[in-house]
Amino acid sequence: REREPYYQHTLEGDDDMPAHAKSTLVGDSLTIPITNGRLNLGTWQGIYLCEFRNYGGARHIVATITGE
């Protein structure tokens, strides 16, 4: 359960530790193949940005493209 005393950080707020746990389960990076200049996603696949903090700050998305 969220907000239990054993999950709390002293400086970040009561939503910090649950956010770390959720982020660990979801992951923070992915690799997507590009075919013919398009993201090669399956029919039911998508890309989602999730914020697990109650009041998250600014975020940046970094894309690194390698290959030919």
Domain ranges of the chain: 1-68
What is the DSSP pairing of strand 38-39 with strand 34-35? antiparallel
Beta bridge partners of 9: 13
**48 vs 10, residue with greater confidence:** 48
Enter the tokens of residue 15. Answer: 């939503």
Tell me the average pLDDT across 8-35. 82
Nearest to 17 by CA among 6, 7, 5, 4: 7
Q: What is the pTM of this model?
A: 0.58
Distance between CA atoms of 56 and 1, rounded to whole angstroms? 20
